[in-house]
Amino acid sequence: VLGSLFATRDLTRTAGSGGAYNAARQSAVVMAVDEINERGGVPALGGGAPRKLILVSCDASGDDEAAGRQLVKLGAIAVVGPAESEAVLNVSMKHTIAAGILLISPTAMSSSIKDLLDNDLSWSMAPTVEQRAPLMKLALSAIEEQLARERPKELKLGVVFDDDALGRSSLASLQQHSFGGELLSVSGAHSGRIRIDRFPT
């Protein structure tokens, strides 16, 4: 038994702001399971006839923890999803790790996922925020350099981030970046050149 955990109501209708993306993710899981089953299934442990996969899909749009708990009860050995970092952390820490279930997210990027004490059971297929940070820093530096040439006045930087696992991780990865001689540190004293605001999730 495999589980999928996305904000979807069924294979064609979706819920939430990432609805269209979640429909594509769900369809990819269904297609992969169908393809494996069409080829005879997966080899049985210790030999024997191959076994077909059963996919159980839970809608995580209302309550990702309840959906994760349900997949554990149904005996899933692996779960694909959820898509969001905060949901991956919640489901992993409260359900799948203790049950020894592999969880693979196609899109979660929070660096906190790799720090889980999970016996390597929580995976993300997307680059982490730490891996993306050098590109974000290059982009900020390029913007600062361009604006400094175009505008002789002092530059200011505003940073707005979601107050969730991904947003906090993204901000932390930029803490040592300098803009106009100031570090992007939440706790640092600013001269008014940098403003950082949390956006409620």
Q: Are 107 and 22 in contact (CB under 8 A)?
A: no
Q: Sorting pLDDT into bands at 50, 70 and 90, what band is 188?
A: low
| pTM score | 0.74
Q: 88-97 in b/e burial notation, b at 16+ Cβ within 10 A? A: bbbbbbebbb
Q: Is the pLDDT of residue 168 over 90?
A: no
pLDDT, tens digit, 9 for 90 and up, residues 108-145:
988 889 889 999 999 999 888 888 899 999 999 999 99
Query: What span, in angstroms and rounded, lies between the C-alpha atoms of 156 and 1?
Result: 53
pLDDT, tens digit, 9 for 90 and up, residues 64-112:
889 999 999 999 999 999 988 889 999 999 999 999 999 999 999 888 8
Pairing of strands 2-6, 78-80: parallel
Query: What span, in angstroms and rounded, lies between the C-alpha atoms of 79 and 81?
Result: 6
What does the pLDDT read at residue 37?
96
